[in-house]
Amino acid sequence: MGLAGLVQLVLFAYATGPGLAGTSDSTYYLHAARSLREAGRLLHPDGSAYRYWPPLYPVLVAAAGSLVGLRLLHGACLLGCLLGWSWLGRKLLPEARAWVLPWALALGTPGLVVSKFMWGEAVFMLLFATYAVALYQWLRTERNTWLAVATLAGGLLPLQRTIGFFLLAGVGTGLLLAAVKKPRLRLGTVLHIGLSALGGLLWHYYALLLAAPSVYQINRGWAQFFSSMADYGFVLLRWLLPVRASWYGAGAPVGWGIGLVLVLAASWPRKQPSTEAPQVAATLFPRLLWASLFGLLLFILIATTFTRSAAGLYDAERYASVIFGPLVLLVLGRLPLPRSQPGRWLLIAALGIWLAYSAGRAGSNACALRRLPIISATR
């Protein structure tokens, strides 16, 4: 795990060596952070109240003090995310497969890409990893301290990115279904869901009803729904298989949409016979992870259909980055456990080839990201 983390930091340091890149979102974050430091308020460049995105990231940008500090924050978030999911992998996966997870995360494209940009996704990924670890510990120990940590991290998710609500919706639904059969979870589940959503709901009530016109309007209808389904199917398949970017236009969108369904089916968890996890955590927690994936993807597809939410491969890669860790963990959990020695060696060889391909792609992506124009603090 330590060596994988070091490799990840080397890739991050090389990709971000010249500085962080930016988009139009980044301009708003920078101005809001500057106005917070100078005037004590989050403001848009036109002087209006900051409201288009949740407030946590510009607050963190202001706290970082400079783009160098922000770069260090992104690197720390990337490493923390790897450590969190790798720790869960050691608890939930057989030892023969647990070693793969930290290397898959270290050599993965999603974290490297989003941490290069002045976006909130790097922090968002760390928050979700922290949330997952705390939730697992609560299910394992039933200690209220872990429930409080999970609720705090869960409450920060929608204050960092609006799609945090989608993750909470998936996990919350799974917890409520489990609480029906497990009375000991009921009170904690209800409190956890309610308190996790409270801060985000209050912010969005202010942002959508008091400070901004409604963004809820039909986009392109069902055509957009299926188009976005193809986008996310392609992104997730490309994470797991050697799929080239140029293949997207060559294939029929319906094929990539079917690919999304297949990835979700392939990641549905099954019980692991030999892990460190106790029974409730070994059976319930992986299903909660799967529910978070399903909830995020389902509600994003609905959002791109019925709101002015951004869509396309570019945004799909960005928004889905938060589920890369749990997706790889769940897929590794579904791999067969060969009983014969040749079968085990064949599986190790296949995983080694996959990691080698990921390493080559990570190096290529780091070089490409390094060449991107960087954002200026005075922008």
- How many structural domains compose the chain? 1
Residue 314 lies in a domain: yes
DSSP 8-class letter at 373: P
pLDDT tens over the chain, length 379 residues: 789 999 999 999 999 999 999 998 899 999 999 999 998 999 989 888 898 899 999 999 999 989 999 999 999 999 999 999 999 999 999 887 888 999 999 999 999 999 999 999 999 999 999 999 999 999 998 899 999 999 999 999 999 999 999 999 999 999 999 888 888 888 999 999 999 999 999 998 888 777 766 555 555 667 788 888 999 999 999 999 988 877 787 667 788 899 999 999 999 997 655 455 566 667 889 999 999 999 999 999 988 887 666 678 888 999 999 999 999 999 999 988 777 777 788 888 889 999 999 999 999 999 999 999 998 866 5
- H and E: helices and strands count for the chain: 18, 0
Residue 109 lies in a domain: yes
pLDDT score, position 213: 60
pTM value is 0.93
Identify the domain containing residue 58 by its residue range.
2-369
Residue 18 lies in a domain: yes
Q: Determine contact, residues 180/266, Cβ cutoff 8 Å.
A: no
Residue 146 lies in a domain: yes
Distance CA 204, CA 188 (A): 25
pLDDT score, position 208: 78
For 274, other C-beta atoms within 10 Å of its C-beta total 9
Look at phi and psi of residue 244 and say left if phi exceeds 0, alpha if psi is from -120 to 50, else beta: beta
Residue 376 lies in a domain: no
Residue 379 lies in a domain: no
Q: State phi, psi for 95 to the nearest 5 degrees.
A: -55, -30
pLDDT score, position 147: 96
Residue 116 lies in a domain: yes
pLDDT score, position 305: 82
Single-letter amino acid code for the residue at 332: L
Distance CA 42, CA 50 (A): 5
Residue 377 lies in a domain: no
